[in-house]
């Protein structure tokens, strides 16, 4: 896991710089800066909107005595998506928007859920229930 994180920390910023320079050469640096600001503002608005909706869904699940499993995964995806959108760059913005839109978040949640279940079967993750 640490190897992947280290690779992510080293490779993604280098790719972001390359894409920003390439895009700046095509459309101009002012437009790149404006696009970065626009995606940040739009991402913050969308993260807030999706986050509030997820909180309402969580409260409703708890009110009806249901386990809010899917809502917790939604919240984690929205949190990561919002944080990634605050990072300047087009690659991270694409990842952030994928995590914020419900239609694209669904398959990502399925992958995360399968990874958690696999880790639980292997015994690398333990979840205690009361």
Cβ proximity of 105 and 74 under 8 Å: yes
Burial class (CB in 10 A: 0-12, 13-18, 19+), 89: buried
Distance CA 5, CA 27 (A): 32
- pTM here is 0.80
What tens-digit pLDDT sequence spans the chain (130 residues)?
678 888 888 888 899 999 999 999 999 999 999 999 999 899 999 999 999 999 998 898 888 888 877 888 899 999 999 999 888 889 999 999 999 998 999 999 999 889 888 888 887 776 666 6
């Amino acid at each position: 896991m640490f190897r992947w994180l280290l690779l992510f920390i080293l490779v993604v910023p280098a790719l972001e710089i390359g894409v920003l320079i390439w895009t700046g050469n095509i459309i101009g640096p002012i437009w790149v800066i404006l696009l970065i600001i626009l995606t940040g503002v739009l991402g913050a608005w969308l993260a807030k909107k999706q986050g509030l909706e997820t909180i309402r869904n969580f409260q409703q699940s708890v009110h009806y005595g249901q386990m809010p499993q899917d809502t917790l995964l939604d919240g984690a995806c929205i949190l990561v998506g919002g944080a990634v959108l605050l990072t300047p760059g087009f690659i991270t913005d694409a990842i952030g928007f994928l995590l914020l839109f419900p239609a694209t978040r669904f398959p990502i949640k399925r992958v995360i859920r399968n990874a958690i279940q696999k880790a639980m079967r292997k015994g690398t993750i333990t979840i205690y229930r009361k």
